[in-house]
Structure 1
Amino acid sequence: MARRRLVQRLQSIASIGFNEGRIGFITICLKDKNINLDYCRTYLVVDERQTKILEVAELVSKSEGKILFISRLHPDLIREKIIGEIAEAIWLSERPNERSIPPQQLGKLLQRISIFVKKEKPAIVFLDGLEYLSLFNDFSRLQMFVEQLNDIIMESRAILLIAVDPRLFDQRSLAKLRRFAEIVS
């Protein structure tokens, strides 16, 4: 009964739903198409520009999920671009700051994400900056990072959305990323 009231309350642009056999999901309407984002899943948001990941983040921010947005953009710019609630924003930068993490420190980034998804329920993590991380880490290390991140997401019943510009990765690298993630296009 409580689930039904929650679903009815959120039946606008973004909503949370529950079906038999599914842990839960968020439904967003993206370009006249409803997309279900299941908890415990990783998604690749394929886009040559940053517009789609920001659009998805804005739609998801209208749900009851807590958002962690990781990007090359400064956290203040992220908050300007996304109309909605963002619980935390992390800046991928070499500049020392309490809101930033250097791109070489993938372990520190994993730790911050892990703490967030364990503390905030339901948690939705956006990673915009995979290509920037690839400049400082070889692809095998980056792939291992994404796979560890996927494990954290499944274990904590969160959602992970990773922005990917297909022009910046070769087909083999994209295929490796697609192995464990669904495509949002």
Structure 2
Amino acid sequence: MVSGVLGFDSVVLGTTGVLFLSLGIYVLSKNHRQKSSVYFAIAAFSLAAITLLEVLIENTSQADVINLAIRLHALASMMCFGTMLALSLELDTSMDATRRMNGRRAILVGVSTAGVIIALMMDGRPQSWSGFGTTGGLSVMVLISSISLLAGASIKSYFQARASSTDETFRSQCVILSGGLIITLAGVESIYMGLGLGGLITFSAICFLATEGVLIHLVVVHKLFQLPDMDGRGMQADGDIIDPALTGSTLLIESKDTRPAYEMFIQELSKGKEGMIVTRTHPDQVRETYEIGSSRTLWLCSQPGADRVDPLGLSILQNILLEHMRDNKNGVILLEGVEYLVSENSIDKVLRLIYTLRDAAVISGAKLIMPLDTSTLSIKDQALIEREFTVMTGFSVSD
């Protein structure tokens, strides 16, 4: 039976749980295509389950309900720290893409399996104002040890991601994420260890409230998991036959030096065109080097954040560029970093992206400028790209 009036501690936990749930939904609504956003949302949903289940456990006397809630609580705890570890691997660019992908899969499968096993082992009873203890000591020890190991591995990975980045904003975000994870770990473990402050509020409620503040700060203030909103609409031709010479153009500048491409891009901006840049160079460095005005800059980077695109998310990149072409007729796009995209994806996927962008540029009247170091490609792949572009060496047309 659930009590009719909730105590202050339960109100705090319930409110925090609703906020965790809302935060996860918010992140998914901003960018549901990026894996890091999905992992963060799952962790937020797990935290919502942890806090709301604790409210249920504190306010019911039915043994079967308590036992079920404790089992679900243990599973949610494992999923929370497991997905946080998967998120940390997603951010750690010191590992190659294949290792990160395989590592994430192994973690999610392993954590889900272990979580179910531990949950089935759990059995418990509520303890007023001090979390809840369990009668199965071994299962509690296994759970606490497991989430501690997951949290430790996550923090290590966050600091590896921090060490591999020169972006001071992202480096600070890694520290904040680690701090939030430590607070969360303290809150969850305090429940199973029966720690409390007495009086109106438990130690776990304070920890979860602090965790909520940290995560809201990262998402709302730092915009950690946000990318531009996209509706996924593509380009459509107004007629059956389009003469490329009368509409857009696609220029391939074969050079190890990207400066000729940027100079051509700046020339197009001087004609009043709206520009967008996709680059492997940090946007701040691009703006310091070139007069690109208010042109939007997307950074090819596996670390999440505003105006960053994961190199593995080719569909995201494609949608952003198609949207720019649709909304800015006769605009100009500089696509730098094709070599990086090829290294992170198969050449076939990158070619499909290039072909789609080429067709969209012709249809919309936009200009697509793409610098390319051909020494990084095979002769066959180079030929497949060249046949879709007007090839230039520096500023001398060589087609």
Sort the TM-score into its range (normalised by shorter chain).
0.7 to 0.9
Aligned pair 1:99/2:310, yes or no? no
- Does residue 83 of the first structure (1) align with residue 83 of the second (2)? no
Shift of 1:87: 2.3
**Matches of 2:388 and 2:275, distance apart in 1:** 22
Q: Which residue does the alignment assign to 2:359?
A: 151
The answer as to whether partners of 2:334 and 2:368 remain within 8 angstroms in 1 is yes
Cα distance 1:171–1:123, how it changes in 2: closer, same or farther (>3 A)?
same
Could you tell me how far 1:122 is from its partner in structure 2?
A: 2.3
Seen in structure 2, the aligned counterparts of structure 1 residues 94 and 172 have a Cα distance that, compared at 3 Å, is: same
CA RMSD in angstroms, aligned pairs only? 1.6
Distance 1:81 1:61, change over 3 A: farther
Q: How many angstroms apart in 1 are the aligned matches of 2:257 and 2:340?
A: 14
Contact 1:54 1:82 in 2 (8 A): yes
1:125 aligned to which of 333, 336, 341: 333
Contact 2:248 2:330 in 1 (8 A): no
Q: Which structure 1 residue ranges, 5 or more long, are not aligned?
A: 1-20, 24-38
- The one-letter code sitting in structure 1 at the alignment partner of 2:381 is S
Tell me the distance in 1 between the aligned counterparts of 2:319 and 2:261.
Answer: 23
Verify the 8 A CA contact 1:57 1:82 in the aligned structure 2.
no
Structure 2 distance, partners of 1:60, 1:157, is 13
Check the 8 A contact 1:75/1:89 in 2, yes or no: yes
Q: Relative to total residues, which structure has the larger helix share, 1 or 2? A: 2
State TM-score, norm by structure 1. 0.76
Instruction: Return the TM-score normalized by structure 2.
Output: 0.36
Q: Which has the larger radius of gyration?
A: 2
What's 1:12 paired with? none
Q: Tell me, yes or no, if the aligned pair for 2:332 and 2:367 is still in contact at 8 Å.
A: yes
**How does 1:1-150 map onto structure 2 within 5 Å?**
23=246, 39-150=247-358
Return the letter of the residue paired with 1:44: L
| Residues 276, 334 of structure 2: 8 Å contact kept | yes
Deviation at 1:51, TM superposition (A): 2.0
149-158 vs 125-134, which moves further: 149-158
Cα distance in 1 for residues equivalent to 2:351 and 2:294: 26
Residues matched between the structures, number: 150
Question: CA separation of 1:86/1:165 partners in 2, compared to 1, >3 Å: closer, same or farther?
Answer: farther
Shift of residue 22, structure 1, vs aligned partner: 5.2
Alpha-carbon distance in 1 for matches of 2:245, 2:389: 17
1:20-48 deviations in Å (ceiling 9; x for gaps): x953xxxxxxxxxxxxxxx4221101111
Asked if 1:176 is matched to 2:367, the reply is: no
Deviation, structure 1 residue 171: 1.2
Distance 1:122 1:87 in 2: 14
CA separation of 1:175 and 1:22: change in aligned 2, threshold 3 A: closer
Deviation at 1:160, TM superposition (A): 0.4
CA distance in 2, matches of 1:60, 1:86: 13
Range that drifts further, 139-148 or 52-61: 52-61
User: Secondary structure of the equivalent of 2:352?
Assistant: helix
Structure 1 runs of 4+ with >6 Å offset: none
Structure 2: runs of 5 or more not aligned: 1-243, 394-399
Bigger relative CO (Cα 8 Å, ≥ 6 apart): 1
Partner deviation per Cα, 1:79-117 (whole Å, 9 max, x = no partner): 222214242110000010111000011100010001111
